[in-house]
Amino acid sequence: MPESSCVSPVFKYLGLVPYETTWRAMQRFTDERDDQTRDEIWLLEHPPVFTLGMNGKPEHVLAAGEIPVVEIDRGGQVTYHGPGQLVVYALLDLRRHKLGVRELVMALENAIINTVSAWGIKAEARRSAPGVYVAGRKLASVGLRIRRGCSYHGLAFNVDMDLQPFQRINPCGYQGLEVVDLTTLGVTSTVQLVAQTMAPKLLDALALQGPVEWSSTEKSVPAHRM
């Protein structure tokens, strides 16, 4: 990936925030931004929700039960978000960084691979099925939307969560795909600590220079984006 001289994005840790509110805020951020708008990366958790991508097949939702299903505008099939999962939304101007979609997907995957390698975990990406896998089990999912040359949505990284809801779907459209989190792999941590560990790895994967810059650790989506 070519080295970028652009200003690095600001990282915002938002805590536990509702899915639909945050999704709409990402859309507004993307629609309202201009060539001078600084990129942002939001790191957060969601209450339990299944999300179905634009080309997602409803039959991959096997038994949603009390968990809501939200049809959204990212690529990919169905996945699950819930507490204990680090969700990373990459609000980037791809033209500014001279990034293609595939390069961004690879950067997100590599950030996770490099993060977990420090804990002795060997993870890998698959070209045919985006995401990060450990011994065939899915540790993280990737799904993006590109609009006006800018990205939103991003990745979902399983840290310490209830994995049972994944059994109610065919994760990412794959029947019988096993899902894993860091706790199952023997790593004891919190979502916030994993976010702090991963942030510099993501800048490296994007070939961006400079230190990680965090905004205030607010617990909701920024009010001016609502």
Closest to 139 (Cα-Cα) out of 123, 153, 162, 117 = 123
Tell me which residue has tokens 């994967």: 205
Torsion of CA 48, 54, 58, 62, to 10 degrees: -40
| 86-103: burial string, b at 16+ Cβ within 10 Å, e else | bbbbbbbbbeebebeeeb
d(CA 113, CA 120): 11
**Could you confirm whether 6 is annotated as catalytic?**
no
In terms of Cα–Cα distance, which of 202, 205, 80 is closest to 141?
Answer: 80
Q: How far apart are CA 50 and CA 29, in angstroms?
A: 23
* Separation CA 185–CA 169 (nearest Å): 22
Spot the catalytic one: 87, 172, 179, 199: 172
DSSP secondary structure code for residue 191 in this structure = H
Return all residues near 16 (Cβ < 8 A) that are at least 6 apart.
44, 45, 46, 47, 83, 219
Residue pointed to by tokens 């011994």: 135
How is residue 192 written in tokens?
Answer: 């916030």
Euclidean distance between CA atoms 157 and 123, whole angstroms? 12
What positions carry a catalytic annotation?
172
